[in-house]
Amino acid sequence: MTGTCTFCGIVAGEVPAEIVYSDEHVVAFLDISQATRGHTLVVPREHCRDLTDIGPDRAGLLMRGAVHTAGLLRRALEPGGMNIWHATGATAWQSVFHFHLHLVPRYAPDDLRRAWTHRELPLSSLTPVADQIRAAAERRPDAS
């Protein structure tokens, strides 16, 4: 899928990138739009569109690569913390439709803005949503 997918092109070596880690399952490279110094993307070598397409086995291998890459970022850049971010679907701000995790080193509490505002709800208000999710699982158990 290298012809239409930038990340497949990076994995194939056809699109230039600053690769900081790779193994047989993943490639990690610096995001061209650095949110903070060292902002890194971790992608599976095999194309999959998003979280609903990656499958649990490939997701596990990708997370293993992300944990390894996070360790490299911590040792090299010594951030005070790190965020991991993922978006599935255009509504959630996914802009490249090849599954990827963002590893964003954090150097100060205010070097990024929060993606949402925290507001605690009464637990009872969550019951209808939880019931809807549980009902979906009963109708069609996840095959992944």
Measured in whole angstroms, how far is the alpha carbon of residue 123 from the centre of its chain? 28
Catalytic (active site) residue 102? no
The pTM assigned to this predicted structure is 0.88
Domain count, the chain: 1
**Residue at 124 is within a domain:** no
Q: What is the domain range of residue 30?
A: 6-119
**Residue at 131 is within a domain:** no
**Residue at 89 is within a domain:** yes
Tens of pLDDT, residues 34-45:
999 999 999 999
Instruction: Name the catalytic one among 25, 68, 100, 102.
Output: 100
CATH number at residue 39: 3.30.428.10
Tens of pLDDT, residues 68-103:
999 999 999 999 999 999 999 999 888 999 999 999
**Residue at 129 is within a domain:** no
For the range 105-108, what are the long-range contacts, defined as Cβ-Cβ under 8 Å and sequence gap of 24 or more?
Answer: 105/36, 105/37, 105/38, 105/39, 105/73, 105/74, 105/77, 105/79, 105/81, 106/36, 106/79, 106/80, 106/81, 106/82, 107/36, 107/37, 107/79, 107/80, 108/80
